[in-house]
Structure formats: structure tokens, C-alpha cells
Amino acid sequence: MKYLLVIFLLFNSIIIVSQSKEISFDSKLLVGKLKNGKPKLLITKKDFINTVNKELYKHDPIIDNVEVIQKYTLGSKKIKYFYVEFSSSKRKDLHIVRWLCNYNGELYFDKSNNPDIYTYIDLFIICEGNEKCRPRLFYMGEDDLGWSCREFIGCVTEEEALINKCTQGNAAF
């Protein structure tokens, strides 16, 4: 009976280890799909979160949630777009996002057509600060889009930065 229990436990631990996999962001990656007009995540949440934690927070994994979100750009033209947002219950004002390309209702991480520069499509945007410090995508004209963690695109004075704490970073992996 002991041997059966040992074999059972060994088999279960092999299954658990084999189920956790790292996700590669190096190529086009199907992340979600529109179902009844609403975005749904197709990648296993655990694997997705573990991969981002490994890349950004190796020594202290803090990301514990991921969801696919639909919004409209800010600015003179309203364009519907989708993105993935990673968040943390440990650090409530931390938001990490990345644009999702919508190809006929399938939502992908993809690369921009220009391999020489990173664009709003290629980068993870990291916002951290107060409750107003959230990722926003702005239409800036001529189909030019840009992310900002503030309610506008642009610089702030040192005084404003101290009053309304909000830092923005980028990551590519």
C-alpha cells in the first residue's frame, strides 16, 4: 500500500510540474478571443502570470492577476482597442499592460512592422503611483497612438510629480 501511495504522489507531482509552462513573447502569440463581443483570455492565467513575474520580478513575484480589457482611445478619434493588464493585490497601484492586435476576433501579441523601433504594439507599459496613474492609449493624429500613465501625454513640473505620483516604464521581452 505504501508503494502505491508513493507512486501516486510521484505521478501527481510530475503532472503538476509538466502543466506549468513558460510562455514566449518572441513571436506572434494568440492571447485571447472575442466571444459574444467580449474579450476572453485563452492562455492559462497561472502560466501567463508566472512568465511575467519571471521576467520582471524574479526575486519577489508580485503579479497575481491578468485580464483582457477593451477600451477606446482618448483624443480626437475614438478607436476601439484591446489589451492585457497584469496587476497585483500586493501593490494596488501597479498596472502592466500590452496592446493586443485584433485579427478577425482573435487577439494576439504581435510585433510592429518596423523592426528598428519599438511602438505601442511591442512594449509592456508599466504604470505605478496613485489611483489616477493608469494606462491610457491616446490617438495623436495620423493614426499615431501612444501610451501614457497620466490623463494626458506630456511632461509635468517637479511640483506636480511630487503631488500626483505616477511613474511610467517600458519593458520588452
Neighbour tally for 84: CB within 10 Å: 23
Question: Tell me: the pLDDT tens digits for 89-148?
Answer: 999 999 999 999 999 999 999 887 666 667 888 889 999 999 899 999 999 988 789 999
Residue 36 lies in a domain: yes
What pLDDT does 33 receive?
A: 97
- Whether the pLDDT of residue 20 is over 70: the answer is no
Domain housing 89:
23-171
Residue 1 lies in a domain: no
The grid coordinates listed for 93 are 497601484
What pLDDT does 115 receive?
A: 67
- Whether the pLDDT of residue 14 is over 50: the answer is no
Residue 4 lies in a domain: no
Residue 138 lies in a domain: yes
Task: Give the list of residues 6+ apart from residue 135 with CB closer than 8 angstroms, or none.
Answer: 83, 85, 95, 97, 125, 127, 147, 148, 149
Q: How many domains does the chain have?
A: 1
What pLDDT does 26 receive?
A: 66
What pLDDT does 173 receive?
A: 80
Query: What is the Cα–Cα distance from 77 to 95, expressed in whole angstroms?
Result: 24
Residue 70 lies in a domain: yes
Who has greater pLDDT, 4 or 23? 23
Give the pLDDT band (50/70/90) at residue 6: very low
- Whether the pLDDT of residue 2 is over 70: the answer is no
The whole model's pTM is what? Answer: 0.81
Residue 18 lies in a domain: no
- Residues 10-34 have a mean pLDDT of 65
Task: Give the list of residues 6+ apart from residue 49 with CB closer than 8 angstroms, or none.
Answer: 63, 64, 65, 66, 86
Query: What is the Cα–Cα distance from 72 to 164, expressed in whole angstroms?
Result: 24
- Whether the pLDDT of residue 18 is over 70: the answer is no
Range name among 13-17, 80-84, 149-153 with the lowest pLDDT average: 13-17
